[in-house]
Amino acid sequence: MSDHVVTISVNGVERSDSVPARLTLADFLRERLDLTATHLACEHGVCGACTVLVDGETARACLLLTVQADGSEVTTLEGLTAGDELGPIEQSFWAKHGMQCGFCTPGFVMTISELLDDNPSPTRQEIIEGLGGNLCRCTGYVKIVEAVEEAVSLRGGGA
Protein backbone atom coordinates (compact mmCIF):
# COMPACT_ATOMS: atom_id res chain seq x y z
CA MET A 1 0.00 0.00 0.00
CA SER A 2 1.18 3.49 -0.71
CA ASP A 3 1.51 6.25 1.82
CA HIS A 4 -0.52 9.46 1.79
CA VAL A 5 0.83 12.91 2.50
CA VAL A 6 -1.21 14.70 5.17
CA THR A 7 -0.97 18.18 6.60
CA ILE A 8 -2.51 18.65 10.02
CA SER A 9 -2.26 21.58 12.39
CA VAL A 10 -1.44 19.98 15.75
CA ASN A 11 -1.55 22.27 18.78
CA GLY A 12 -1.13 25.24 16.46
CA VAL A 13 1.86 23.85 14.55
CA GLU A 14 1.39 22.68 10.97
CA ARG A 15 2.72 19.15 10.50
CA SER A 16 3.13 17.33 7.21
CA ASP A 17 4.00 13.68 6.95
CA SER A 18 3.65 10.68 4.70
CA VAL A 19 1.49 8.10 6.46
CA PRO A 20 -0.01 4.70 5.72
CA ALA A 21 -3.73 4.80 4.98
CA ARG A 22 -4.59 2.82 8.13
CA LEU A 23 -2.46 4.74 10.65
CA THR A 24 -4.75 5.96 13.43
CA LEU A 25 -4.56 9.53 14.60
CA ALA A 26 -3.66 8.25 18.08
CA ASP A 27 -0.65 6.37 16.71
CA PHE A 28 0.35 9.36 14.57
CA LEU A 29 0.25 11.68 17.60
CA ARG A 30 2.06 9.27 19.90
CA GLU A 31 4.60 7.68 17.56
CA ARG A 32 5.31 10.37 14.97
CA LEU A 33 4.90 13.51 17.08
CA ASP A 34 5.76 12.16 20.56
CA LEU A 35 2.54 13.63 22.01
CA THR A 36 1.93 10.89 24.53
CA ALA A 37 -0.89 12.45 26.55
CA THR A 38 -3.26 10.87 24.04
CA HIS A 39 -3.63 7.50 25.74
CA LEU A 40 -4.65 4.21 24.19
CA ALA A 41 -6.75 1.81 26.22
CA CYS A 42 -9.70 0.01 24.66
CA GLU A 43 -8.88 0.97 21.05
CA HIS A 44 -12.59 0.62 20.26
CA GLY A 45 -13.72 4.19 21.01
CA VAL A 46 -15.51 3.19 24.19
CA CYS A 47 -13.30 4.45 27.03
CA GLY A 48 -12.44 8.00 25.92
CA ALA A 49 -8.76 7.84 26.96
CA CYS A 50 -7.70 8.87 23.44
CA THR A 51 -10.00 11.89 23.20
CA VAL A 52 -8.61 14.88 21.30
CA LEU A 53 -10.24 17.92 19.74
CA VAL A 54 -10.53 17.93 15.95
CA ASP A 55 -11.64 21.30 14.67
CA GLY A 56 -12.85 22.08 18.19
CA GLU A 57 -14.94 18.95 18.69
CA THR A 58 -14.05 15.84 20.65
CA ALA A 59 -12.98 12.83 18.64
CA ARG A 60 -11.68 9.38 19.48
CA ALA A 61 -8.14 9.34 18.10
CA CYS A 62 -8.07 5.52 18.20
CA LEU A 63 -10.91 5.36 15.67
CA LEU A 64 -9.96 8.26 13.43
CA LEU A 65 -7.47 7.59 10.69
CA THR A 66 -4.75 10.19 10.21
CA VAL A 67 -5.76 10.64 6.57
CA GLN A 68 -9.25 11.59 7.78
CA ALA A 69 -7.73 14.43 9.82
CA ASP A 70 -5.88 15.87 6.82
CA GLY A 71 -6.45 19.64 6.76
CA SER A 72 -7.83 19.72 10.30
CA GLU A 73 -6.82 21.48 13.49
CA VAL A 74 -6.06 18.87 16.16
CA THR A 75 -5.61 19.81 19.81
CA THR A 76 -4.18 17.39 22.34
CA LEU A 77 -3.77 17.83 26.08
CA GLU A 78 -0.30 19.23 25.41
CA GLY A 79 -1.87 22.02 23.36
CA LEU A 80 -4.41 23.28 25.90
CA THR A 81 -1.92 25.45 27.77
CA ALA A 82 1.37 27.13 27.05
CA GLY A 83 4.52 25.80 28.66
CA ASP A 84 4.35 24.04 31.98
CA GLU A 85 1.37 25.97 33.31
CA LEU A 86 -1.74 24.05 34.28
CA GLY A 87 -4.98 25.24 32.77
CA PRO A 88 -8.11 25.70 34.89
CA ILE A 89 -9.39 22.19 34.21
CA GLU A 90 -6.07 20.59 35.14
CA GLN A 91 -5.79 22.83 38.23
CA SER A 92 -9.25 21.70 39.25
CA PHE A 93 -8.37 18.02 38.86
CA TRP A 94 -5.35 18.63 41.10
CA ALA A 95 -7.26 20.68 43.71
CA LYS A 96 -10.28 18.38 43.90
CA HIS A 97 -8.38 15.07 43.64
CA GLY A 98 -10.21 14.25 40.42
CA MET A 99 -7.71 11.58 39.48
CA GLN A 100 -6.06 8.60 41.02
CA CYS A 101 -3.90 6.72 38.54
CA GLY A 102 -4.36 9.52 35.98
CA PHE A 103 -4.55 7.31 32.91
CA CYS A 104 -8.02 8.50 31.92
CA THR A 105 -7.38 12.12 32.88
CA PRO A 106 -6.22 13.48 29.49
CA GLY A 107 -9.37 12.20 27.82
CA PHE A 108 -11.54 13.68 30.55
CA VAL A 109 -9.74 17.03 30.33
CA MET A 110 -10.28 17.19 26.56
CA THR A 111 -13.96 16.27 26.95
CA ILE A 112 -14.43 18.85 29.68
CA SER A 113 -12.70 21.46 27.54
CA GLU A 114 -15.28 21.03 24.80
CA LEU A 115 -18.11 20.82 27.35
CA LEU A 116 -17.15 24.13 28.98
CA ASP A 117 -16.49 25.84 25.64
CA ASP A 118 -20.02 24.89 24.58
CA ASN A 119 -21.62 25.54 27.99
CA PRO A 120 -19.56 27.68 30.40
CA SER A 121 -22.06 27.15 33.24
CA PRO A 122 -23.30 23.55 33.13
CA THR A 123 -25.48 22.10 35.84
CA ARG A 124 -24.28 19.05 37.74
CA GLN A 125 -26.58 16.89 35.61
CA GLU A 126 -25.20 18.41 32.40
CA ILE A 127 -21.67 17.69 33.63
CA ILE A 128 -22.55 14.08 34.40
CA GLU A 129 -24.15 13.66 30.97
CA GLY A 130 -21.22 15.39 29.27
CA LEU A 131 -18.76 12.98 30.84
CA GLY A 132 -20.81 9.92 29.92
CA GLY A 133 -18.46 8.83 27.14
CA ASN A 134 -15.35 8.66 29.33
CA LEU A 135 -14.54 5.77 31.62
CA CYS A 136 -12.51 5.75 34.83
CA ARG A 137 -11.72 2.61 36.77
CA CYS A 138 -10.38 4.33 39.88
CA THR A 139 -12.33 7.34 41.08
CA GLY A 140 -16.03 6.62 41.09
CA TYR A 141 -16.53 9.94 39.21
CA VAL A 142 -17.60 12.03 42.23
CA LYS A 143 -14.27 13.85 42.42
CA ILE A 144 -14.19 14.28 38.64
CA VAL A 145 -17.60 16.01 38.70
CA GLU A 146 -16.38 18.19 41.58
CA ALA A 147 -13.29 19.05 39.54
CA VAL A 148 -15.48 20.18 36.62
CA GLU A 149 -17.54 22.34 38.98
CA GLU A 150 -14.30 23.86 40.26
CA ALA A 151 -13.13 24.48 36.68
CA VAL A 152 -16.39 26.29 35.96
CA SER A 153 -15.66 28.55 38.91
CA LEU A 154 -12.03 29.15 37.86
CA ARG A 155 -13.06 29.95 34.31
CA GLY A 156 -15.61 32.47 35.56
CA GLY A 157 -18.73 30.44 34.78
CA GLY A 158 -21.47 29.45 37.14
CA ALA A 159 -24.05 31.44 39.01
Regarding whether 95 and 74 lie in a shared domain, the answer is: no
Residue 156 has what pLDDT? 79
Last residue of one domain, picked from the residues 22, 52, 79: 79
**pLDDT value for 158:** 61
Domain co-membership, 93 together with 73: no
Range of the structural domain that residue 142 is part of: 88-154
Classify residue 159: in a domain, yes or no. no
pLDDT of the residue at 1: 66
Work out the angle between the directed axes of helices 142-154 and 105-118 (0-180°, nearest 10): 50
Domain end marker among 79, 107, 134: 79
Q: Which residues of the chain have pLDDT under 70?
A: 1, 157-159
Domain count, the chain: 2
**94 close to 88: Cβ distance less than 8 angstroms:** no
**E strand residue ranges, 27-156:** 51-54, 57-60, 73-75
